[in-house]
Chains A and B, each alone.
Chain A
Amino acid sequence: MAESKLANTIAKERVADLAQRNGEPTWLKDARLAAWEIYLQSPMPTARDDDWRKTEIDNIDLSTFITTDPLTNKAAKAPTMELVQSAIEKLGEPAGIFVDDYSVSQSQFSSVNTDLAKQGVIFMPLIEAIEKHPELVKKIFEQGTASSDDDKFTLMNKALFNSGLLLYVPKNVVIEAPFVSAVNLPVGKTNHAVFPRVFVATEANSQVTLVSIFSDASDNTDVNGTTLSNSIFEITVGAGAKVTVMTVDKLSKQVFAVNRVRTHLHRDGVLNLTTAGLGGKQIKSVIETVMVEQGASSDIRGVVLGDGSEHYSYNTIQKHTCPDTTSNINFRVALKDTSSSVYQGIVVVDKIAQRTAAFQSNKNLLLGTEARADSIPRLEILADDVKCSHGATVGPVDKEQLFYLNCRGLNLKEAEELIVRGFFVQILDGIEIKGAADWVGDLVAEKIYK
């Protein structure tokens, strides 16, 4: 791994060097440097900023992080990762597998079903895609050029991204089996930083599913370095396309994750996105769905289970910029011990976005007496013919539910486990990935029982 340090002000040479070594085209190098310029001028967020409420970002000294270089060592077969195995067991044979293993084998692997490759489906490391499909990548990148709307971490990724992947699905290609991608993050004695950037680009009337896993191999002993995982997911849903994505963050107490998910939905496009936060020192995710053309419809689900002193912070943004679109957000959080969460959801309906239907629900179960959940919903509606609603609840497990189950022979722990699992199952049952509800349900149960 390279010994260049990620200071609060990244060296310009570092950015240029990265582009150079990847053999990147000039436009991309320029895009990196443009992001870097804005990055320099952007303030470091603090826990006092609305968007970063209660996320202890202040005590992270970026100058102590070492940026991790792209993995160049190709593995002949997918490195063994428990989570990938269990996913495949429940979800069935995937359409393609991608693994970035920083932790154990220090290698990279990707494969895609050959029939799909023949149909023009691309599923490969982003760095490789830039080299092999420069025109396509350029087109896709242009949708996400750095802007002053980006926060410091987004810009940091845009300047320094060094991993990630491209999933591209051409027109009319319908793929039932899910693609599975996994990142095994580096953890150790020193602080590491990884910048994955993932593109899911779909053309008209296509259909695709991606399951993305972030984990690490920390054994939680004798290592006290922090790893920063700063990722961007950019998802484009083509006209009439259907995209189903599930992201699972199952990280150790050494990892601080900052994720930004941006989705654009075109005419009659359908997005079904589920995010599961099942571990990490701090997880900060901003999920933005923009309905850019009529008939678009997005369904976002969140499943968060915290324990120990974990902190989760989710911002969801539902943007309706044209008439006749629908968005639905359903976030459920259960917190054990002293873990905490902040959910901030905003629905934005532009003046022209008549007949918008936008719903938002956030329910929080406090399992630990010292656990804490904040829920801050917001509506910004300028159109006058809309159906919008939002609701939030925060509270402990219902005592009457516990008593009912106790009376049926389950002890308090067993009863609570069943109730919490049920709490999430209501969300998971809506995931349109066969076997996914079971798979995540098991991961949840594992953590409840722990």
Chain B
Amino acid sequence: MTSKNTSKSTAENTSEKVAPLLQIVDLHVSVEDKEILKGVNLTINAGEIHAIMGRNGSGKSTLSYALMGHPRYKVTSGKMLYKGQEVGEMSPDQRAKLGMALAFQYPVAIPGVSVSNFLRKTVNAVRGRDIPVKEFRLELKALMAKLGVKDEFLSRYVNDGFSGGEKKRLEILQLSMLKPLLAILDETDSGLDIDALKTVSEGINVMAQADTAVLLITHYQRMLNYVQPQFVHVFQDGKIVASGGKELALELEDRGYEWVTQESVDESASAQAKANSSSAAATPVGAK
């Protein structure tokens, strides 16, 4: 039941030389000298949807911050390989330009900066070119319609006085515009009512269909009714203790995290060993 993530994408099947989109190897991360991540192993290939589930405080959000390079989160050992390239030393904006993006659990307000100005600046920065205003508008309007975002949204200050649902919609709108290859969604479902959850999920699905790999970090199973992951991982005390298909999420819903915790006590050692060997195998090019 609890097997480690050993997924292989179609890309890999056709070409052995292509590195996975993201490969995390024995990642240890500390915040203010307190170790939060204690050996995370995870491989994500292009276009895959992965869900990480776990209790509050298990280190899920730390993983998302560490992946994007938050200065407070120090990688003490391990690897974060993006397309085979170590990103641990890169600044967050460099990672963003490579195609990594994070939808924040708590999006930050930038008072005085309008949503439209912000979107234009960030999209131009990530895409590395100035998109003509007309083209930008067209693209934006189409996405806003899909995500049920009203026009007046554009002239408001970024996340300033936004409701929880509005913030999450803006996060998904941003990611949809940025078109990352890897979208890390940190508790994007929290604070959403059912209608917002549906629209936001729809936005995520559209991205996924356009070949964005999704790492969905969540506390509840409910979002997984709308966004169907191929892989589900259970996070516990700073590492992945169990992995499986989407049925694992249902099982968690039924039996709670306790069940995994008990099993993982017995299996974590062997699972860890397996994980290390399998991820090593999944890194065909001693990719540097």
Most-contacted residue by chain A among B70, B93, B96, B174 (CB, 10 A): B93
Nearest CB of chain A from residue B49's CB, rounded to whole Å: 21
Q: Is the CB of B122 within 8 A of A409?
A: yes
Q: Is the CB of A426 within 8 A of B112?
A: yes
Q: Which residues of B sit under 8 angstroms from A408, Cβ to Cβ?
A: 93, 96, 101, 118, 122, 125-126, 174, 178
**CB-based nearest A residue for B177:** A408
**CB-based nearest B residue for A403:** B70
Q: Which of B108, B111, B125 contacts A410 (CB 8 A)?
A: B125
Nearest CB of chain B from residue A366's CB, rounded to whole Å: 17
* Stretch of A42-50, A371-379, A415-423 at the chain-chain interface: A415-423
Q: Is the CB of B121 within 8 A of A404?
A: no
B44 located at the interface, meaning its Cβ lies under 8 Å from any Cβ of chain A in the complex: no
Q: Which residues of A sit under 8 angstroms from B72, Cβ to Cβ?
A: 399
Q: Which of B97, B109, B113 contacts A421 (CB 8 A)?
A: B113
Q: Is the CB of B111 within 8 A of A422?
A: yes
Q: How far is the CA of A401 from the CA of B109 in the complex (A)?
A: 7
Q: Is the CB of B112 within 8 A of A423?
A: yes
B275 located at the interface, meaning its Cβ lies under 8 Å from any Cβ of chain A in the complex: no
A425 located at the interface, meaning its Cβ lies under 8 Å from any Cβ of chain B in the complex: yes
Q: Which residues of A sit under 8 angstroms from B101, Cβ to Cβ?
A: 407-408
Q: Which of A406, A418, A419, A426 contacts B93 (CB 8 A)?
A: A406
Q: Which residues of B sit under 8 angstroms from A415, Cβ to Cβ?
A: 93
Q: Is the CB of A411 within 8 A of B93?
A: yes
**CB-based nearest A residue for B69:** A406
Q: Is the CB of B96 within 8 A of A407?
A: yes
Interface string of B251-281 (1 = CB under 8 A from A): 0000000000000000000000000000000
Nearest CB of chain B from residue A385's CB, rounded to whole Å: 31
Q: Is the CB of A404 within 8 A of B108?
A: yes
Q: Is the CB of B92 within 8 A of A424?
A: no
B110 located at the interface, meaning its Cβ lies under 8 Å from any Cβ of chain A in the complex: yes
- Tell me the residues in window 45-96 of chain A with beta carbons closer than 8 Å to chain B beta carbons: none
Q: How far is the CA of A17 from the CA of B113 in the complex (A)?
A: 54
Q: Which of B69, B71, B110, B174 contacts A418 (CB 8 A)?
A: B110
Main SS of the interface on chain B?
A: mixed
Q: Which residues of A sit under 8 angstroms from B112, Cβ to Cβ?
A: 421-426, 429
Q: A403-B70, A408-B126 are in contact. Are A418 and B121 (CB under 8 A)?
A: yes
Q: Which residues of A sit under 8 angstroms from B153, Cβ to Cβ?
A: none
Q: Which of A399, A412, A425 contacts B113 (CB 8 A)?
A: A425
Q: Is the CB of A409 within 8 A of B97?
A: yes
Most-contacted residue by chain A among B68, B107, B113, B126 (CB, 10 A): B113
Q: How far is the CA of A275 from the CA of B95 in the complex (A)?
A: 40
B162 located at the interface, meaning its Cβ lies under 8 Å from any Cβ of chain A in the complex: no
Q: How far is the CA of A409 from the CA of B129 in the complex (A)?
A: 12
Q: A399-B71, A418-B118 are in contact. Are A404 and B110 (CB under 8 A)?
A: yes
Q: Which residues of B sit under 8 angstroms from A410, Cβ to Cβ?
A: 93, 121-122, 125
Q: Which residues of A sit under 8 angstroms from B108, Cβ to Cβ?
A: 398, 400-401, 403-404
Q: Which residues of B sit under 8 angstroms from A398, Cβ to Cβ?
A: 108
Q: Is the CB of A404 within 8 A of B104?
A: yes
Q: Which of B111, B122, B157, B178 contacts A405 (CB 8 A)?
A: B122
Q: Which residues of B sit under 8 angstroms from A400, Cβ to Cβ?
A: 108
Q: A400-B108, A407-B102 are in contact. Are A418 and B96 (CB under 8 A)?
A: no
Q: How far is the CA of A399 from the CA of B108 in the complex (A)?
A: 10
Q: Which residues of A sit under 8 angstroms from B118, Cβ to Cβ?
A: 408, 418
A414 located at the interface, meaning its Cβ lies under 8 Å from any Cβ of chain B in the complex: yes
B91 located at the interface, meaning its Cβ lies under 8 Å from any Cβ of chain A in the complex: yes
Nearest CB of chain B from residue A103's CB, rounded to whole Å: 34
Q: How far is the CA of A120 from the CA of B171 in the complex (A)?
A: 56
- Tell me the residues in window 69-83 of chain B with beta carbons closer than 8 Å to chain A beta carbons: 69-72
Q: How far is the CA of A102 from the CA of B201 in the complex (A)?
A: 65
**CB-based nearest B residue for A417:** B121
Q: How far is the CA of A208 from the CA of B142 in the complex (A)?
A: 43
Q: Which residues of B sit under 8 angstroms from A425, Cβ to Cβ?
A: 112-113
Binding site for B on A (CB under 8 A): 398-401, 403-412, 414-415, 418-419, 421-426, 429
4 cross-chain pairs, A with B, having the tightest CB-CB distances, nearest first: A422-B112, A409-B125, A406-B92, A425-B112
16 pairs from A and B in contact (CB 8 Å cutoff): A401-B108, A401-B109, A403-B70, A403-B92, A406-B91, A407-B92, A407-B102, A408-B118, A410-B122, A414-B125, A418-B118, A419-B113, A422-B112, A423-B111, A423-B112, A424-B112
Sample of 11 further A-B pairs with CB below 8 A, known A405-B122, A423-B111, A429-B112: A401-B108, A403-B68, A404-B107, A404-B108, A407-B92, A407-B102, A408-B118, A412-B93, A415-B93, A419-B110, A422-B110
